[in-house]
Amino acid sequence: MTSPPMASTVKQSIWQNRNFVILLSTGFLLSFGSRVYELALPLIIYELTQSSVAMGTMRALQFLPVFCSAW
């Protein structure tokens, strides 16, 4: 019995894989945009209302789905 011939595989850098680079860059942009939103939204609420209570309420409501999903 002879063993099947081994296919020669060339190891490529993961950075040469176009799909991986697209996935990584869009994930980075999505994360960056989310953080900017988290920072800007309370400041916009405060700028519009001049009320720290409104800003705090908005932040509390923002975390409501996290607490509801835990139960």
The angle formed by the CA atoms of residues 49, 55 and 70, to the nearest 5 degrees, is 150
Which pLDDT belongs to residue 52? 93
Contact 23, 17 (CB under 8 A): no
Give residues with Cβ within 8 angstroms of 58, minimum separation 6. Answer: 41, 42, 45
Give this prediction's pTM: 0.62
Residue ranges with strand state E in the chain: none
Does residue 65 fall inside a structural domain? yes
Does residue 15 fall inside a structural domain? no
Residue range(s) defining the domain that contains residue 66: 34-71
pLDDT tens digits, residue range 11-41?
Answer: 889 999 999 999 999 999 999 999 999 899 9
**How does DSSP classify residue 29?**
H
Give residues with Cβ within 8 angstroms of 14, minimum separation 6. Answer: 20
* Domains contained in the chain, number: 1
pLDDT tens digits, residue range 44-70?
Answer: 999 999 999 999 999 888 888 888 887
